[in-house]
Structures are given as C-alpha cells and as structure tokens.
Amino acid sequence: MKTSTSLFFSLLLSVTASAEPVTVHSLVQRALATHPELRYYEAQIDVAQGGKTKAGEIKNPDLMTGVGNWRVRDLATNTVSDGPTWAVQLTQTFEWPGRLSLRKAIAQKDIELAQLGIEQFRAALAARVRTISWKMLAAQEKTRATEEVAKRFKSLADVLLQRDPAGAAPRLEARIIQASALTLGSEATLARNELEAARFELNQLLGEKAEHPLELRMENLTLNPPPALEALLADARRKNFDLRARILDVEQQGYAVKLAQNERWPSITVVPYVQRQSNQTRETQVGIGISIPLPLWNRNKGAIDSAKAKEVQAEVMLTAQLRQLERDVASQSSHYRLHVEELVKWPSDTLDGFRKAAAEADEHYRLGALPLSTYTELQRQYIGSVTAVLTSQLGAVDARLQLEQLTGTKLAQ
C-alpha cells in the first residue's frame, strides 16, 4: 500500500519566469554546503580537539637560579673565608598515574559530542529544507487553485453586472457572485503570502537574499506506511542524536568520578639541584629533592561527591530522554500512518476530477443550465478538496521527516 504525492501536485511551480527550476535534493545539498552555522559546529570540534591536547599536556618544569656571596665567620666574628656562590634548581611536577589518561578520556567525549552536534545539525537542516520546500510546492498549488476560481467568479460577475440584470433575483445573484469573487481574492492573497513566506525562509536557509528568485521542480515522493513500531524504536535507541548525546554524557561523568577519586592522591614534585660556592675551598653540592603533599585533611571528598551526584543526574536524564523518545517515535509513527492511510483512500485523479467539475459547472452556469447554489458549491468544494489533500500530504511529509530525525534512519520509499 503506497501513495505518491506527485498525484496531488499536478503543476510545476512558476514563481518567477527568470528562475531556473531546481530539485529539492539540490537545495538540500546546497544548504549543507553553504549554511553559515555549519562553521560554528566545525569550529566547536576544533575547540574540543584543542581541549584534548591541553588535557594531555605535562606541566612545564620550573627553573630557579640564584647567585650570591658565601661568607664564613668564626665565633669571634673573624673572617674565615669569603667568595661567590650560585645555585641552580629544576622543579618538575608529575601527576599521579592514570590522571592524564582520565582527563584525555573526558576531553575525547567532548570531541565526540561536538562531532555528534554537527551531525545532528546537518540532519535537522536537511529536514528543514525539505519541509519548507514541500510547503512551498503546496502553497503554489493552493494559490493556483484559489486564483483560478477567483478569476472565474470575477469574470462572471463582470459579465452579469454589465448586463444590468432586471429583477431582484438576477441582481442579487450577481452580487453573490461578486462577493464570492472578493472573498476568494482574499483567500488567494493569503495563499500567495504563504508561498512568499516559504520562499523567504528557504532563501535564508540557502544563504541567499529573501527576494532571490527561486523555482522548484516537481519531484515524485512516494509515501509508504512506516515500519513496525518495535523496529523504529530499536533504530531510535541506537541512532537518535539526543539519546546518543545523553549516553556520552553518562560516560563522561563516569570518567569525571574516576578523576575525582584519582585526585585524592597528590602530585609528586621532583627537585634536582646544584649549588656551588668558592672561597678558600670550592664546594659543590648536587642533590635531588622530592615533595609529596600528605593527604591528611583534604581527601577530595567534596569533589568526589559532586562528581557522583552529576553522574546520577546524567543517568536519570538518560532514562527520561529514552522515555520521551519512545513516546515521540510512537506518536509520529501513528501520525504518519494515519495520513498515509487517508491519502490512499483517494483515487489518483481526485483533484483533476474536481478541477474538471468546477470548469464544467462554470460553462453550464453561463448557459443557464445550472443553479447558482450548485455552481458556488462546486467551486468551493474544488478549493476545499485541494486544501484537504494538501493538508494530509504535508502532514504525512512532516511526520515522516520527524520520524527520520527521531530514529536517525532514512525510511524506505
């Protein structure tokens, strides 16, 4: 069971005569190549990679030098010796084993989150371009149908009023037709506004000026019923962007707990030094010192408790995200299935049949073979049928794109 949206969009867009028709797919590729926000997410990856480099760096050693004078006195303050002295000391701090690797692991998760962010943005951008493109095509079809009927009523009203109809009934019928022309003209204006709004947003997504001419070429888009809910949920649990981000957050918080526990143990500072003094004798002292803070009062308990609490929060948020995801997938799957089932009920020539009936009604009314009520109703039903088909079609397209976003999977056509 399937239905094709090309059956309901029978005419091509003709927004501007100078614009060359383009496909929806080409617009998606263009947006993915030129959208300015992509540079932000690309830069975010560079930021995260820089953070990982920083996390793996070893502290630079500290070099200390000094010069002075070595003066020796005996207990009677008599000078025993006098001469220059100098000293050189190098201090290097080493982290407790495993600490640098934990920091690098946390930074690696930042890189993965940044890469996931740009992947998610590209998918959302592509879906948005497709949604607006189909709205633009739908607005064009609605505008065409509304303007067609509005012109039909206006032409008929002009003819009837020029005849100066005699009697109340013909005169009132002429006014009814004129009023209908005015009402439909207003509806056509609203449809054109929707068309322009869709074009403006699409141009913005493409990085163009709002008034840039844009014409879309009709494409066949087959809408099949969605797969079974369990299959969709399985895909969503593996590929959903938000859920994957939550999983990365939980993993990162786990590393943060381990790092806080590791930081209970102090860093070790090694201090090799050389000292020399020259007077009546030449003395040189070479040695190495080690400095280790004793973890007596500060065992980093506050940081450990805080890291564990954040890990619990991340796990709770992951569970909540999974539940929300399951609800959203079930909801969008139901919406998509219902819209597709509704579209399948209509014959492929539904709109074409209403269009022909509206044109035939106009011809017969002008010949006096059709009452005003039937004529008006047929024209209105033509517009109503177009609106109904477009609403269901756009609902199916939107639900399908939402479902693809949630599951991270391209649904089969």
CATH number of the domain at 61-94+266-298, please? Answer: 2.20.200.10
Distance from C-alpha of 52 to C-alpha of 243, rounded to nearest angstrom: 23
Nearest to 407 by CA among 341, 316, 330, 334: 330
Q: Domains of the chain: which residue ranges?
A: 3-58+97-264+301-407, 61-94+266-298
Overall pTM surpassing 0.95 (yes/no): no
Per-residue pLDDT tens digits of the chain, which is 413 residues long: 444 444 343 333 333 334 577 888 889 999 998 888 898 999 999 999 999 999 988 889 999 998 988 877 777 777 667 888 899 999 999 998 999 999 999 999 999 999 999 999 999 999 999 999 988 888 888 888 898 888 888 888 777 767 665 667 777 777 888 888 888 888 888 889 988 999 999 998 888 888 888 878 766 667 888 899 999 999 999 999 999 999 999 999 999 999 999 999 888 999 999 998 887 778 888 999 999 888 888 888 999 999 999 999 999 999 999 999 999 999 999 999 999 988 888 877 777 888 888 888 888 888 888 888 888 888 888 888 888 888 888 999 999 999 999 999 888 76
CATH of 3-58+97-264+301-407, one of 3.10.129.10, 3.40.50.880, 3.30.365.10, 1.20.1600.10: 1.20.1600.10
* Main-chain phi, psi angles of 362, to 5 degrees: -65, -40
What Cα–Cα distance (Å) separates residue 274 from each residue in 59, 67, 72, 80, 271?
22, 12, 20, 24, 10
Distance from C-alpha of 45 to C-alpha of 108, rounded to nearest angstrom: 11
Residue with tokens 């909801």: 331
* Main-chain phi, psi angles of 349, to 5 degrees: -105, 25
